[in-house]
Structure 1
């Protein structure tokens, strides 16, 4: 049985749990596992190092500090926008997550954190930035 090593293509199911035990995200909900290559930069090095050596059918709970999971909130990712820019049917209210066009044309999710008069504050940090999380992984395939 092959074990996970550098450059392995890994297929796995994961569930991300917050400190209070609530589930933030899970591939089980999406109905299909995640696939990535160790070393491709899609995961933090610390998280990858926790996966190295695991084999198919292994289950492991990996506790990650915020900086090794989704990073710490970056104040540069918080923007103030003119309320007039929000047009259409969508309700502009605190807590709403909206898609914005990034500089490269890709959509970036932003969460509205504050509305004062005509100024709308939008936070483009990952919703889990700054949070310690536990990844529960189930290894399905290693190539």
Structure 2
């Protein structure tokens, strides 16, 4: 879920810190419903900025340690 943007579309978001536009920078976008959508800059090229909208834990193994307190019949 990586999207390509032109640099001029992203640069206003970091206008106060133009040197901060680099891989790993987290940006906030508005989705279609005007909610917040986080994206992380994947890479910056001369003609494109690639932003990854996957969940930060996507692709990672997650292990849960649980303790079952009770089981009830329905």
TM-score normalised by the chain length of structure 1? 0.40
Pair 1:138–1:125, CA change in 2 (3 A): same
4+ residue runs over 4 A deviation: none
Could you report, residue by residue, the CA deviation over 1:37-57 in whole angstroms, capped at 9, with x for unpaired residues? xxxxxxxxxxxxxxxxxxxxx
Could you report, residue by residue, the CA deviation over 1:33-85 in whole angstroms, capped at 9, with x for unpaired residues? xxxxxxxxxxxxxxxxxxxxxxxxxxxxxxxxxxxxxxxxxxxx210001111
Give 1:135 deviation, angstroms. Answer: 2.5
Aligned to 2:72: none
Q: State the alpha-carbon separation in 1 of the partners of residues 64 and 29 from structure 2.
A: 28
Q: Which of 1 and 2 has higher RCO (CA within 8 Å, sep 6+)?
A: 1
Residue 135, structure 1, aligned to residue 73, structure 2: no
Q: State the alpha-carbon separation in 1 of the partners of residues 38 and 67 from structure 2.
A: 28
Q: How many corresponding residue pairs? A: 63
Q: Structure 1: which 5+ residue stretches go unaligned?
A: 1-76
CA-based RMSD of the aligned residues comes to 1.8
TM-score normalised by the chain length of structure 2? 0.73
